[in-house]
Structure 1
Amino acid sequence: METLTGNTFYFDFEISLMEWLQSVLGPTGAGIISVFSALGEEFFLILLLAFTYWCYDKKFGEHIGSIMILGTIINPLIKNIFWRRRPYFDHESITCYRPLDKEHDLYDIAAQGLSFPSGHSTNSAIAFGTIALKARKRWVSISCGIIIFLVGFSRVVVGVHYPTDVLLGWLSGFFCIWLITFLRNKVPEEKTWLIYLVIFLISCLGLFYCRTTDYFTCLGLVGGIYGAFEFEKRFVHFKNTKNPLICILRIFCGVAIYLILNEVLKLPFHKEFLESGTLLAGVVRSVRYLIVSFVTVGVYPFSFRLIDR
């Protein structure tokens, strides 16, 4: 397996600011602030998409989901260009309070990922920015703005991102909101598959230079979820629900299918191969996530007629 090293670059003020924040807040304060990081993580995004798409409003769910998926693939495409190491890798004065992967070595760049830009900041900007635009209420916009700030702030406090990582993360998130909204306003609804196809094909360019596992994961999600949206329109036609119990059941079963199927599809392969970091292993990972996301988002809603009884 290839050893990844990464690049080191930063502004002096970033290190000074991070050192000051960690000294003022201490481990306890950093631990409290780190809770906000959860609002930019994969599990929260899965729950948000599941609720909005399967329960609340299918059309809005597709809209916010299409923006989320664009954000997830843009992040590794940029990261694999700059290869910026996380702050605590190069500065002993900065402590990592929330590692990406707790099971691997804290300084294993392949496991802990790259720094520039912040994916959590991108995700929170997309999720809460889109919600604010949907609600169009002052108090909602203010609340969402505070959450977006706190998610990005938490990534700096816990020592895993430079402030400039967070700034670019926010910018890329807002860009994704603007781009998808602009394209969906210009392209007729029956032609949205063209938007998805173009985004997927552009995303495939990363096959020529991306070496991190998150890229291959996100590439699979792009193909699977975008394909699932179009599959549902043509063949499934499920209806949203306002029944809390049915909503919980839909989300619980959907998340269970996602997690179980993901593990089942690993069984034909040796663990050493899946973690080898080769292009073939990456492609297998992409195909696995494509199948999992397509089945969960597109095919699973066929069962809603049974669940809703």
Structure 2
Amino acid sequence: MEFLRLLEEFRTPMLDVCFQGITWLGQSTFLGLMALFLYFAVSKKIAYETLTAFFLSGILLQAVKLLFRVPRPWVLDPDFTPVAWAVSAATGYSFPSGHTQGAAVFFGTLFLYAPGKIKKAGCAAVILAVGFSRMYLGCHTPKDVAVGMALGILAVAAVRRAGLDFTGKVSQKEKNTMIFLGILSGAGLFLSLLMAGISYVPWEEAADCIKVSVLGMGFLGLWLAERREK
């Protein structure tokens, strides 16, 4: 919290707007539009890699949120004031940071494919900037950001190491990855419904885990529909 209080002292209206714009690069709406752009205009392989890593890490992240139930910084310290208009987008618990995880996955995957050091440096800069913006806005602590970033980067590395092609004949590795994603999506949905159903967490806190688990199942359905003949 000390670092967040330090950042609070340097806030200005211009910086508030600037970092709100940067944090939007980790927002689910932007990332969804980016995924569609990758799928239809750039490369289905890159889009599949990105979305696979996103859902693998995103469901795990939401499960961790429900298990640890760490309140937001302004709840932990009532004397701390976040940037007011950033609060509405800060849904669910604080630990880990979902915005940072999303940015790490999408721009981390682009980092692997970006030609040249300048473009790679730009991708890395966006990931770090989104993470910093979450702290500047007062929505997350450094620990939240670090763990969210680690989950995203590890998922990108795992998908890349698996050597999934997503374009030619469906490999056994690809099948195994998607089976695991299906199991993980089902487990995330079950966990969130169970914890909310027994009132261990409020329904509004479980909503993000429910949403990302259902979307993970939808992504699996897309894979099945497109790859069934391969």
TM-score (norm: length of structure 2): 0.84
Give 1:54 deviation, angstroms.
Answer: 1.5
Indicate the residue corresponding to 2:24 in structure 1.
38
Indicate the residue corresponding to 2:63 in structure 1.
77
Indicate the residue corresponding to 1:137 in structure 2.
116
SS of residue paired to 1:17: helix
Partner AA of 2:142 in structure 1? P
Give 1:185 deviation, angstroms.
Answer: 4.8
Indicate the residue corresponding to 1:230 in structure 2.
224
2-structure distance, mates of 1:117, 1:186: 30
2:170 maps to which of 167, 189, 200: 189
Give 1:227 deviation, angstroms.
Answer: 1.9
Give 1:81 deviation, angstroms.
Answer: 1.2
1:157 aligns with 2:136: yes
**What's the C-alpha RMSD, in Å, of the aligned pairs?**
2.3
Partner AA of 1:155 in structure 2? R
2:72 maps to which of 60, 77, 86: 86
2-structure distance, mates of 1:210, 1:72: 18
Partner deviation per Cα, 1:245-267 (whole Å, 9 max, x = no partner): xxxxxxxxxxxxxxxxxxxxxxx
TM-score (norm: length of structure 1): 0.64
- Sequence identity of aligned pairs in percent? 25
Give the stretch that moved more between structures: 119-128 or 92-101.
Answer: 92-101
SS of residue paired to 1:112: coil
Give the stretch that moved more between structures: 176-185 or 130-139.
Answer: 176-185
Partner deviation per Cα, 1:29-56 (whole Å, 9 max, x = no partner): 2332121110001111111110111121
Q: Give unmatched runs, 5+ long, in structure 2.
A: 197-205
Indicate the residue corresponding to 1:201 in structure 2.
183
Indicate the residue corresponding to 2:150 in structure 1.
171
1:20 aligns with 2:6: yes
Q: Is the 8 A contact 1:124 1:151 kept in 2?
A: yes
Specify the structure having the higher radius of gyration (Cα).
1
1:120 aligns with 2:114: no
Partner AA of 1:53 in structure 2? Y
Structure with larger RCO (C-alpha < 8 A, sep 6+): 2
Indicate the residue corresponding to 2:49 in structure 1.
63
Q: Is the 8 A contact 1:66 1:226 kept in 2?
A: no
- Aligned residue pairs total 214
SS of residue paired to 1:25: coil
SS of residue paired to 2:138: coil
1-structure distance, mates of 2:81, 2:17: 12
Partner deviation per Cα, 1:36-95 (whole Å, 9 max, x = no partner): 110001111111110111121112211112112222212101111110000011223322
Q: Is the 8 A contact 2:59 2:184 kept in 1?
A: no
Q: Is the 8 A contact 1:53 1:61 kept in 2?
A: yes
1:213 aligns with 2:207: yes
Q: Is the 8 A contact 2:170 2:227 kept in 1?
A: no
